[in-house]
């Protein structure tokens, strides 16, 4: 028992260590700092929350990040879900190649993903900007959606869809009324993951951004001359919204699944 | 008609996503390979000259950073494994119904941008920041003592940033272990340590394998930590690739270097997988 408690305390310590930078970020968003050197505590202020959008470049970068994340999520959910359905449900010529491609993409270091895509754009003379960032984000999100959906499809009971088809539903109606609701949790999970990956991506984006800036790129660029407190505030708001969203999703999952799980135990 | 349609269905479903990956992931690899064998400059254009010596040039020019990246990655992966294992063990075996709460707490950093997290460590470790400032004021540390711009700071930052990557697969493999096996070991007079060493540890090895793999690869190719927390003596291979591409516009050298990096990592992964079993590699893919 004693050993269990010791390890428990240790776990608490490591979690505190993991959360320390988050705490620092939130705290220094309230720091009444003069100038751009937000390093020492000067007193409490809410002024950075009031002047959140005062830095034009930063606001533009945040807007870019948010819109790219939305578009990338929509595109990769559509492309990844259909791909996941194909490899999860059917056996066909070329499936092994697709599996290998997905695995290779996930195993490839991000810097190589970014660098090779940049090589393509350079060789073809494609100017880098908003669209190339979006293309890159969709590329690295698709495998995550596809693998999540595939895992769900493999465990599905096909007889439900066969019943729908036997009752005269067209394949499209069957997909919309039967298959899609069944795989919805995986589609949602894949979508959330895509959004999170896209909004936080730095490496691949920095290679393919050209003159366009995103939130992580702007912060990285500003780090040499001192990061303004607005960055802390935006980081805090993204953190709060993200955590809130995750908690709500987890609780609603628990409620819908709860009965079954209790029954199983 | 219906059979033909259902035979074609997987192709139609796989086509859009598969094409996107083929065009923007597979094809670019060939363009990178081709670019690495060209000579020229941005002003006069590049010609395909199959100039293989670019590879030996970048290797001899940047082997220091290459070796440093591997050393950092080995240290960081080992540290992450040492820190994570007891924690993953405790959550899997002792946390009871609070398991998912603890996992959620470990994932909290992922809700903050990677760059901001790293900058936070710059705040924390700054020469006159919240840790060092008071210590220096109390004369517990010499005035010129610094942590930033050292290997120590870079390794700390990398370990911090990639720790959750290690915890999750470890937890998954530990959680799967049937507790009755541990009880059986105790019934057969195994002490706590013997039960752990002979039962729990071997059964958790797939998790160790997966954790090491998904920590090592991104750490070895990271350059954000080295830029924000490091100095001129902590440059990693990622920094060089990034500078060659985006600042020097030396595309042949840059692509040769990133191709070499990918080759080295793939070779490492392959050897590692051969040594420890290939099935776990696919589990790694699924876990991530």
The pLDDT tens digits of the residues spanning A38-72 come to 667 778 888 888 888 888 899 999 999 999 999 99
Q: Where do the domains of chain A lie, and which CATH numbers do they carry?
A: 50-225 (1.10.3720.10)
Confidence tier at A36 by pLDDT (50, 70, 90) = low
The pLDDT tens digits of the residues spanning B159-197 come to 999 999 999 999 989 988 888 888 888 889 888 888 888
User: Measured between CB atoms, which of B116, B218, B288 is closest to A219?
Assistant: B116
Interface of B with A in 37-66 (CB under 8 A): none
Q: Do A89 and B10 touch (CB under 8 A)?
A: yes
Q: pLDDT at residue B272 above 60?
A: yes
CA distances, A73 to each of A186, A190, B113, B160, B217 (Å)? 14, 9, 17, 28, 25
Residue B141: count of CB within 10 angstroms of its CB: 16
Q: Are A89 and B10 in contact (CB under 8 A)?
A: yes
Q: Are B32 and B23 in contact (CB under 8 A)?
A: no
> Angle at Cα A203 formed by Cα A48 and Cα B75, nearest 5°?
100
pLDDT for position B161: 94
**Structure token pair of residue B234:** 């902590």
Q: Are A24 and A180 in contact (CB under 8 A)?
A: no
The pLDDT tens digits of the residues spanning B13-56 come to 999 999 999 999 999 999 999 999 988 877 777 888 888 888 99
For chain A, report the end-to-end CA distance as a whole number of angstroms.
26
Instruction: Identify all chain B residues contacting A122, using CB atoms and an 8 Å cutoff.
Output: 35, 251
Give the strand pairing for B38-41 and B45-48.
Answer: antiparallel
Kindly give, in sequence order, each residue whose CB lies less than 8 Å from that of residue B177, ignoring residues fewer than 6 positions away.
Answer: B92, B199, B200, B203, B204
Q: Do A18 and B87 touch (CB under 8 A)?
A: no
Element (H, E) at B161: helix B151-175
Q: Do A83 and B265 touch (CB under 8 A)?
A: no
- Of B114, B75, B149, B123, give the one whose Cα is nearest residue B224: B114
> Angle at Cα A153 formed by Cα A148 and Cα A157, nearest 5°?
150
Q: pLDDT at residue B3 above 80?
A: no
Instruction: Identify all chain A residues contacting B224, using CB atoms and an 8 Å cutoff.
Output: 202-203, 220
- Rounded Cα distance between A204 and B242, Å, is 11
- Rounded Cα distance between B189 and B133, Å, is 54
**Structure token pair of residue B192:** 């706590």
CA distances, A189 to each of A147, A200, A249, B174, B277 (Å)? 11, 17, 10, 24, 30
- Give the largest CA-CA distance in chain B: 85
Name the residue in chain A with its Cα closest to that of B27.
Answer: A120
More confident residue, B46 or A193: A193
User: Measured between CB atoms, which of B121, B126, B164 is closest to A21?
Assistant: B121
From the CA of B245, how many Å to the nearest CA of chain A? 8
User: Measured between CB atoms, which of A86, A116, A232 is closest to B14?
Assistant: A86
Please, what's the b/e burial string for B194-225 (b: 16 or more CB within 10 A of its CB; e: otherwise)? ebeeebbeebbebbbbbbbbbbbbbbbbbbbb
User: Measured between CB atoms, which of B14, B20, B163 is closest to A139?
Assistant: B20
Instruction: Identify all chain A residues contacting B111, using CB atoms and an 8 Å cutoff.
Output: 22, 238-239, 242-243, 246
Residue B188: count of CB within 10 angstroms of its CB: 10
In the numeric block, the tokens 């390794």 are attached to B155
Q: How many contacts, defined by CB atoms under 8 Å, are there between A and B?
A: 250
pLDDT for position B94: 86
Q: pLDDT at residue A114 above 90?
A: yes
Confidence tier at A145 by pLDDT (50, 70, 90) = very high
User: What is the mean pLDDT of the segment spanning A147-175?
Assistant: 88
Q: pLDDT at residue A1 above 70?
A: no
Phi and psi torsions of A38, nearest 5°: -90, 65
Q: Do B124 and A20 touch (CB under 8 A)?
A: yes
Chosen from A115, A206, A207, A215 to mutate, greatest number of chain B CBs within 10 A = A115
Q: Please provide the DSSP assignment of A42-104 as one string.
A: --B--HHHHTTT--HHHHHHHHHHHHHHHHHHHHHHHHHHHHHHHHHH---TTHHHHHHHHHH
Whether the CB of B89 is below 8 Å from some CB of chain A: the reply is: yes
pLDDT for position B273: 79
CATH code for the domain defined by B61-287? 1.10.3720.10
Element (H, E) at B46: strand B45-48
Label residue B78 exposed, middle or buried (CB < 10 Å: 0-12, 13-18, 19+): middle
Element (H, E) at B55: helix B53-94
- Of B78, B88, B20, B32, give the one whose Cα is nearest residue A137: B20
Interface of A with B in 215-244 (CB under 8 A): 215-216, 219-220, 223, 227, 231-232, 235, 238-239, 242-243
Whether the CB of A155 is below 8 Å from some CB of chain B: the reply is: no
- Rounded Cα distance between B181 and B136, Å, is 53
Residue A201: count of CB within 10 angstroms of its CB: 26
Chosen from A101, A109, A132, A221 to mutate, greatest number of chain B CBs within 10 A = A109
Q: Are A127 and A135 in contact (CB under 8 A)?
A: no
Determine the 3-state secondary structure of B127 from DSSP: coil
Label residue A66 exposed, middle or buried (CB < 10 Å: 0-12, 13-18, 19+): middle
- Rounded Cα distance between A2 and A9, Å, is 11
Determine the 3-state secondary structure of A31 from DSSP: strand
CA distances, B98 to each of A3, A15, B91, B105 (Å)? 18, 14, 8, 11
Each domain of chain B, given as residue ranges in start order, spans 61-287
Q: pLDDT at residue B150 above 70?
A: yes
Q: Do B16 and A78 touch (CB under 8 A)?
A: yes
Q: Are B54 and B253 in contact (CB under 8 A)?
A: yes
Instruction: Identify all chain A residues contacting B104, using CB atoms and an 8 Å cutoff.
Output: 246, 250
Please, what's the b/e burial string for B36-74 (b: 16 or more CB within 10 A of its CB; e: otherwise)? bbbeeeeeeebeeeebeebbeebeeebeebbebbbebbe
- Of A28, A146, A30, give the one whose Cα is nearest residue A87: A146
Confidence tier at A245 by pLDDT (50, 70, 90) = confident
Percent of chain A past pLDDT 90, that is, above it, reads 55
């Amino acid at each position: 028992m004693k050993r269990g408690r010791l390890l428990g305390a240790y776990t608490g310590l490591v979690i505190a260590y993991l959360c320390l930078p988050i705490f620092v970020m939130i705290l220094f968003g309230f720091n009444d700092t003069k100038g751009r050197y937000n390093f020492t505590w000067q007193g409490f202020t809410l002024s950075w929350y009031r002047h959140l959008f005062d830095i034009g470049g930063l606001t533009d970068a945040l807007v870019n990040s948010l819109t790219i994340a939305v578009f990338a999520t929509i595109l990769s959910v559509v492309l990844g879900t259909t791909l996941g359905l194909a490899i999860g449900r059917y056996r066909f010529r070329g499936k092994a190649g697709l599996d290998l491609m997905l695995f290779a993409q996930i195993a490839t270091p991000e810097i190589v993903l970014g660098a090779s895509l940049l090589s393509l754009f350079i060789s073809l003379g494609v100017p880098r900007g908003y669209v190339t960032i979006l293309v890159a984000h969709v590329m690295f999100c698709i495998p995550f959606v596809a693998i999540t959906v595939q895992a769900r499809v493999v465990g599905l009971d096909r007889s439900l869809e066969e019943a729908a088809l036997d009752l005269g539903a067209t394949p499209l109606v069957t997909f919309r009324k039967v298959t899609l609701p069944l795989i919805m949790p995986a589609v949602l999970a894949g979508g959330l993951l895509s959004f999170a990956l896209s909004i936080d991506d730095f490496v691949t984006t920095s290679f393919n951004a050209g003159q366009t800036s995103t939130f992580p790129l702007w912060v990285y660029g500003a780090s040499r001359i001192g990061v303004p407190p607005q960055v802390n505030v935006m980081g805090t708001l993204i953190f709060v919204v993200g955590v809130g969203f995750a908690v709500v999703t987890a609780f609603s999952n628990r409620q819908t699944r709860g009965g079954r799980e209790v029954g199983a135990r | 008609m219906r059979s033909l349609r259902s035979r074609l269905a997987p192709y139609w479903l796989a086509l859009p996503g598969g094409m996107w990956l083929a065009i923007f992931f597979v094809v670019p690899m060939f363009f990178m390979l081709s670019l690495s064998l060209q000579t020229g400059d941005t002003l006069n254009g590049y010609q395909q000259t199959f100039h293989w010596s670019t590879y030996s040039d970048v290797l001899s020019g940047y082997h220091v950073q290459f070796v440093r990246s591997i050393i950092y990655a080995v240290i960081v992966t080992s540290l992450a494994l040492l820190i994570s294992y007891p924690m993953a063990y405790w959550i899997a075996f002792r946390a009871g119904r609070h398991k998912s709460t603890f996992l959620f707490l470990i994932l909290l950093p992922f809700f903050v941008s990677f760059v901001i997290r790293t900058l936070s460590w710059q705040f924390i470790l700054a020469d006159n920041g919240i840790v060092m400032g008071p210590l220096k004021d109390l004369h517990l540390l010499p005035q010129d003592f610094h942590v930033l711009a050292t290997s120590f700071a870079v390794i700390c930052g990398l370990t911090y940033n990639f720790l959750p990557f290690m915890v999750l697969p470890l937890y998954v493999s530990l959680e799967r272990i049937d507790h009755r096996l541990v009880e059986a070991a105790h019934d057969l007079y195994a002490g706590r340590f013997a039960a752990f060493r002979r039962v729990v540890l071997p059964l958790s090895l797939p998790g160790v394998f997966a954790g090491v793999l998904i920590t090592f690869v991104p750490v070895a190719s990271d350059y954000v930590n080295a830029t924000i927390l490091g100095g001129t003596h902590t440059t990693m291979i990622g920094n060089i690739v990034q500078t060659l591409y985006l600042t020097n516009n030396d595309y042949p050298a840059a692509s040769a270097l990133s191709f070499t990096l990918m080759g080295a990592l793939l070779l490492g992964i392959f050897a590692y997988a051969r040594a420890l079993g290939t099935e776990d590699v696919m589990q790694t893919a699924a876990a991530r």
